[in-house]
Amino acid sequence: IHSVTKVHRIACIPGDGIGTEITEAAIQVLTTLQKALGTFELDFTHFDWSSKAYLERGWYMPPDWADQLRKHDAIFFGAVGSPDVPDHISLWNLILPIRKTMNQYVNVRPTRILEGTTSPLANVKRGDLDWVIVRENSEGEYSGQGGISHEDTPNAIATEVSIFTHAAIFRLMHFAFRTALSRPRKHLTLVTKSNAQRHGMVLWDKTFAAVAASYPAVTTDKMLVDAMTVRMVLQPSSLDTIVATNLHADILSDLAAALAGSIGIAPSSNLDPERGNPSMFEPIHGSAPDIAGRGVANPVGAFWSAAEMVRWLGEEKAADTLMKAVEEVTKAGVKTKDLGGSENTKSVTEAVCREIEKAL
């Protein structure tokens, strides 16, 4: 009998600003994890696809970018963006093409209050807030359709067309119901704006109801997105799994992260549930130019994203060990400023590495 060490090939796109800092930190903890466990190997390839590179050479990704990414089992992404490049340029040249081409049609965003941390709201206690937001990741408000006439004149008219298809909503709903089913509460909340938007949002309502019939074990309710923000703040414990459109879920997940303590802790997984392409894992925050280069970014969102990545690759024990280590560290008060602490990226990273080594 001989044991085979599984090798997972990871494409790393650190990007810009704190994206590079937190990616480096994540690689450090993943490397520590891999050495301590000894049951798998991670083989990282770095891609310098960033706004900084774009400003120097005029392009984000080379023509064969999709083939290059497909040689990997997963993608780890930091954050992309620069004050000198409009955000829609980086979004439409990098992150959106990757999500679309790699068939990453769901974006899973878990949020909870970690040990040793508190919500900025006094009424929200640890354990009250434990949510998974399932975001539609392929179409809707981000379908890119529309145009502008009379540009740069006072008569300018622009359209921004949202496209919603039954096929995309249907596959998303199945994923959302399966996610709800995997959780202790088994509750799914649909978020739309179907009182004001009578085509796409009504298709969401109908598709949700039809798919719900296949999951009798899941309890459901429906919220309009405006009322949802109020419920998240005032009755967090009434929520569990949440499914929403590309735009709505983007906004709600920033709110969720802030309610849970900081945008710096929240992870996201861009998944191809059919596993025909590599999935992509990234913290939800951006490149944060205001704090970049100072070594003070909270790396926890990147660590949590890394844990979700190794979980997706089948390394359950590694994922659990990493999250346990992160919470030991926050519990001990080793936290960056956004969480009310006085530590930096390096000291938090080293503390997590020590916890991993202690645990194994």
Interaction site with ligand ATP (CB under 6 A): 18, 79, 81, 87, 263-264, 285-288, 290-291, 297-298, 301, 336, 338
The residue (of 176 and 291) whose beta carbon lies closer to ligand ATP is: 291
Q: Are strands 267-271 and 106-112 parallel, antiparallel or unpaired?
A: antiparallel
338 binds, among Mg ion, ligand ATP, none (CB under 5 to 8 A by kind): ligand ATP
CB of 144: closest distance to ligand ATP in angstroms? 17
290 binds, among ligand ATP, Mg ion, none (CB under 5 to 8 A by kind): ligand ATP
Q: Which of residues 267-286 bind Mg ion (CB under 5 A)?
A: 286
* Owner of token pair 């919220």: 223
CB of 17: closest distance to ligand ATP in angstroms? 7
CB of 80: closest distance to ligand ATP in angstroms? 7
264 binds, among Mg ion, ligand ATP, none (CB under 5 to 8 A by kind): ligand ATP
How many CB atoms lie under 10 A from the CB of residue 38?
10
263 binds, among ligand ATP, Mg ion, none (CB under 5 to 8 A by kind): ligand ATP
The residue (of 215 and 281) whose beta carbon lies closer to Mg ion is: 281
301 binds, among ligand ATP, Mg ion, none (CB under 5 to 8 A by kind): ligand ATP
Residue number with the shortest CB distance to ligand ATP?
Answer: 286
Measured distance between the N- and C-terminal CA atoms of the chain, rounded to whole angstroms: 24
CB of 116: closest distance to ligand ATP in angstroms? 16
- Three-state SS for 132? strand
110 binds, among ligand ATP, Mg ion, none (CB under 5 to 8 A by kind): none
CB of 84: closest distance to ligand ATP in angstroms? 14
Q: Which long-range contacts (CB under 8 A, 24 or more apart) does 318-324 make?
A: 318/33, 318/34, 318/37, 318/39, 318/40, 321/33, 321/36, 321/37, 321/356, 321/359, 321/360, 322/29, 322/30, 322/33, 322/352, 322/356, 324/355, 324/359
CB of 336: closest distance to ligand ATP in angstroms? 6
Per-residue contact track with Mg ion, 284 to 303, x per CB under 5 A? Answer: --x-----------------
Q: Which two tokens stand for residue 104?
A: 């990453």
What is d(CA 284, CA 78) in angstroms, rounded to the nearest whole number?
A: 9
Task: Give 223-280 as a DSSP string.
Answer: EEHHHHHHHHHH-GGG--EEEE-HHHHHHHHHHHHHHTT-GGG-EEEEE-TT-SS-EE
